[in-house]
Structure 1
Amino acid sequence: MPRAIGQVDESKTEAILDAAAELTALNGAKVSMEAIAKRAGVSKQTLYNRFPSRLEIARALAARRSDMLTQPLRSGGDVEAVLTAFAAGLLEKIVRENVAVAFRSVALMSAEVPELADAVYQAGPGEGLRRLSAWLAEQDRAGALNVPDPDAAAEMFAGMTLGHSHLRAILGVNHPSFDIAARARDTARRFLRAFAV
């Protein structure tokens, strides 16, 4: 079925973001717009129509990752299952996959291009923390948890989950292997004991 005039072909947008994610994981945040367009199989004009700059691509990638990582918070499952799934997603996507290469590149560029680091943080990890905080506040209101400061608790949970594994991944330092499911479950249970009603 042909698109209506002015209708955006979302498959091209996804192809651009997929290409940008792959190239950034391989080469860091300085990947060129031309390379992204070529990898995505779109013209440079199509790329610039959707994303006027690398900053906008970085923001969109971070937002897409945040949406995916926070999906368990929208699942409606029991508290332990939701926190376990959230923790497992963080560990899988941030520690095990090549996301650390992109974060490392952004960190190295942050002095030169602070707006890039801020955009990535706000759309990605910052938004993930805001969503987790909002979810924890809902659990507090529902009586499932006792969370007097949801913002601090959200940061605590993320820190408990990622620990030094995240830092090792960003620095490119080898770290001991671990069972993601077991660590996620253990983190969720310990967190729930701290905030039990």
Structure 2
Amino acid sequence: MPRVAGQIDETKTEAILDAALELFTEKGAAASMESIARRAGVSRQTLYNRFPSKAEIGRALAARRSDAISAPLRTGGDPETVLTALAAGMLDKLCGKDGRGSMRGVALMSPHAPDVAAAIYDAGPAEGLRRLSAWLTEQDAAGRLTVPDPDAAAEMFSGMVLGHGHLRGVLNVPHPPFDRDARARETARRFIRAFAP
């Protein structure tokens, strides 16, 4: 019998997502639902009750990451502060061990499980771009920035922040040393200068 809302043990859900992230990073599409359940310390039934497929697990992982990275967009701060915090979060995720590993994991699985890769992209990076585009639309309407094409501007900002970082992550090439805070501030300032009212 299905549980009533509020009865689900969220620690089990987080254990499943953590186990899936580790296994997707290690094995790509070869990670089985059974191995995810085993590593998470839950029954197969518990896993399937929460996530009926690897695509749903991938979607939940990407959504969790997107929520964390895009949190500054919900703070209501001035554009430079918000974009600096957003850039810093993106760089943290990109350059951290989990960020590099998760990119490689998705790259490994994409030819064998395109549905999972598409779910991850839609719930993660694409959702992040949609949220940034919506925020840029709000900034334009308030007169703080002039952004005629928020979708294109969101992609530009992401590219400015990440540079070749994604490629290095997929190829497991170390990132050259850099000052994360300085890069985040400089990116935000240059972006704002480009879209100043």
Report the Cα offset of residue 167 of structure 1.
1.1
1:96 aligns with 2:78: no
Corresponding residue for residue 135 of structure 2: 135
Query: Would the alpha carbon gap of residues 112 and 36 (structure 1) be closer, same or farther in structure 2, given more than 3 Å must change?
Result: closer
1:125 aligns with 2:125: yes
Report the Cα offset of residue 29 of structure 1.
4.4
Q: Deviations for 1:6-41, whole angstroms, at most 9, x for unmatched residues?
A: 332222112211222233334434322222212222
SS in 2 for 1:116: helix
Q: Which runs of 5+ in 1 are unaligned?
A: none
With normalisation by structure 2, the TM-score equals 0.92
SS in 2 for 1:89: helix
Corresponding residue for residue 33 of structure 1: 33
* Aligned equivalents of 2:152, 2:63: Cα separation in 1: 22
SS in 1 for 2:163: helix
Report the Cα offset of residue 103 of structure 1.
2.0
CA RMSD of aligned residues (A): 1.7
Report the Cα offset of residue 92 of structure 1.
0.6
Q: How many residues align?
A: 194
1:66 aligns with 2:66: yes
Corresponding residue for residue 195 of structure 2: 195
Question: Is the 1:29–1:102 contact (alpha carbons within 8 Å) kept by the matching residues of 2?
Answer: no
* Aligned equivalents of 1:22, 1:146: Cα separation in 2: 42
* Aligned equivalents of 1:98, 1:12: Cα separation in 2: 20
1:47 aligns with 2:47: yes
Q: Which moved more, 1:122-131 or 1:101-110?
A: 101-110
Corresponding residue for residue 14 of structure 2: 14
Q: Which runs of 5+ in 2 are unaligned?
A: none
Question: Is the 2:26–2:105 contact (alpha carbons within 8 Å) kept by the matching residues of 1?
Answer: no
Q: Deviations for 1:145-183, whole angstroms, at most 9, x for unmatched residues?
A: 000100000000000000012211111122311111111
Question: Is the 2:29–2:113 contact (alpha carbons within 8 Å) kept by the matching residues of 1?
Answer: no
Letter in 1 for 2:196: A
* Aligned equivalents of 1:40, 1:109: Cα separation in 2: 20
* Aligned equivalents of 2:28, 2:67: Cα separation in 1: 22
* Aligned equivalents of 1:134, 1:55: Cα separation in 2: 26
Question: Is the 1:25–1:99 contact (alpha carbons within 8 Å) kept by the matching residues of 2?
Answer: no
**Identical aligned residues as a percent:** 66
Question: Is the 1:28–1:101 contact (alpha carbons within 8 Å) kept by the matching residues of 2?
Answer: no
Q: Which moved more, 1:32-41 or 1:86-95?
A: 32-41
SS in 2 for 1:151: helix
Question: Is the 1:80–1:189 contact (alpha carbons within 8 Å) kept by the matching residues of 2?
Answer: yes
With normalisation by structure 1, the TM-score equals 0.92
Q: Which runs of 4+ in 1 moved over 6 A?
A: none
